[in-house]
A and B are shown apart, each in its own frame.
Chain A
Amino acid sequence: MLSRRIIPCLDVRDGQVVKGVRFRDHVVMGAIEELAARYRDEGADELVFYDIAASPQGRTVDCGWVERVARILDIPFCVAGGIRSVADARAVLHAGADKISVNSPALRRPELITELANAFGRQCVVVGIDSLRDADGHWRVRRDTGDVAATTALPLRTLDWIVQAQRLGAGEIVLNCMGSDGVRGGFDIEQLRAARALCEVPLIASGGAGNAGHFIDVFMQADVDGALAASVFHDGSLRIPDLKRALRGQGIEVRDEL
């Protein structure tokens, strides 16, 4: 049986791992390779690196650290940040990333998803979505969230974008629920359940993890394939072996401890 994935997320800026609260006020957490090796050894199932400044600054991801990470990791990893073309994606994949994730550039030019799927196969193509509930009760996507000044609220409804992204060739969806990001109050189960009902490809929950119970809830109640978290892992308040023990205790299939 396919196991549920635990995915530490490393937000990268200027060559270091940073973390903000509700996508703001970033503090430095450590060096990229150091944290990558730590999570590999603790039993992470996959890592995601977001170059959070790349899209707002209009540049692509730096492939130097991608290659250094690829050399030391023996688990899969995904890279996101300013990938706007097949050529950008090819550089990141050639540097050793297993998947690329597109967010703001795919909102500007949705056909990018199809171009990437045709070039590399849809299994390489992750669509990241930053989503926030508006006053009228609908979840809608936000663009360029890596930079507060550049963040834009779009009229596009999150659930519509999830359907469209799959039709265009997305092989996986990462749903960042911005309303719960960084505040450790639990994943946005309601939104993730709504997304799950429309998502036929793997769905990864992001935003809000504070303890092992939140992971149990999101797997059991929203049936997501993986759960992504940052601060709760970075500061050591939840260790991955302890988390997996708790999940296994609830009958949730996870990769064995190493």
Chain B
Amino acid sequence: MRCDVREPTMNVVLVDSGGANIGSVRYALQRLGVDAPLTSDGDVIRRAERVILPGVGAAAAAMARLRELDLVDLLRTLDRPLLGICLGMQLLFEASAEGDVACLGRLPGRVEKLCAAPGIRIPHMGWNRLHTCRASRLLDGIAEGAMAYFVHSYAAPVDVATVASCAHGAVFSAIAQGDGVAGAQFHPERSGRVGQRLLANFLRLA
């Protein structure tokens, strides 16, 4: 049995940002003993102890959906730990070059497109190494050089918020943290034990 990190029952919600495979994040949390409902209801999100913003697709479409659901101001001001996954992490930054759209502004910087080069194919798809940039509880039990599963074409540059970086051609921010929010550019729900640990560490953040 590999699902050995059990969390006490906690009020965790998944923001329904319209991505197609949110189910897999929900199942990963269930393997940690947490049943996180999928919601776009502002009141439910405000009452949660932990909020997770998954996301697959394009930044402009996701921001448009959050605006439509009237969740932009809520997510900009939420005072509970908020974890953005993949596109959800990118939305935490000030802006994204994907559709040239303003994002939630919880983390400093602008998300840029990864550059293709000989042997560097885009989308960045597969398992790649995490390199520690600074100490964080998010990295508890995650070794330097551990591998996580990435699928993306855009990323945030390494900056003050970067906890761990990854290199695919350029070096980019793989885990970021600041202002009560955290982000994972990889898919923790599909990153084996490393991903499970990241989720468990997020749930444990004070």
Contact = CB atoms under 8 A, between A and B. Distances in A.
A255 B58 CA distance: 28
B24 A121 contact: no
B192 interface: yes
B149 A3 contact: no
A137 B191 CA distance: 42
Given A5-B127, A123-B151, A200-B121, A41 B2 contact: yes
A226 interface: yes
A223 B119 CA distance: 8
Contact of A74 (B31, B116, B121, B125): B31
Contacts of A202: 121, 123, 125-126
B57 A255 contact: no
Contacts of B57: 120-121
Interface stretch (A18-26, A54-62, A89-97, A157-165): A89-97
B20 A124 contact: yes
A45 interface: yes
A255 B30 contact: no
A97 B128 contact: no
Contacts, number: 101
B195 A3 contact: no
Contacts of A1: 128-129, 167
Interface string A167-196: 000011000000000000000000000000
Interface residues of B, number: 39
Given A74-B189, A95-B23, A121-B58, A172 B116 contact: no
A98 interface: yes
A45 B126 contact: yes
Nearest to A43: B192
Contacts of A225: 121, 125-126
Interface size class, chain A: 35 or more
A174 B31 CA distance: 31
Given A2-B128, A123-B152, A255-B147, A74 B20 contact: no
A75 interface: yes
Contacts of B189: 74
A3 B147 contact: yes
User: Interface majority SS on B: helix, strand, loop or mixed?
Assistant: mixed
Contacts of B129: 1
Contacts of B23: 67, 70, 94-96
Given A121-B57, A123-B151, A226 B126 contact: yes
B191 A74 contact: yes
Given A2-B124, A70-B27, A256 B195 contact: no
B50 interface: no
B190 interface: yes
A2 B123 contact: no
A64 to B, nearest CB: 13
Interface string A107-138: 00000000000011111100000000000000
B11 interface: no
Interface in B134-166: 146-147, 149, 151-153
A118 to B, nearest CB: 9
A3 B125 CA distance: 10
Contacts of A70: 23-24, 27
Interface in B76-124: 116, 119, 121-124
Nearest to B150: A2
13 contacts: A4-B126, A74-B190, A95-B23, A98-B151, A119-B20, A120-B57, A123-B125, A123-B151, A123-B152, A124-B56, A202-B126, A225-B121, A255-B147
Interface of A: 1-5, 41, 45, 67, 70-71, 73-76, 90, 93-98, 119-124, 171-172, 200-202, 223, 225-226, 255-256, 258
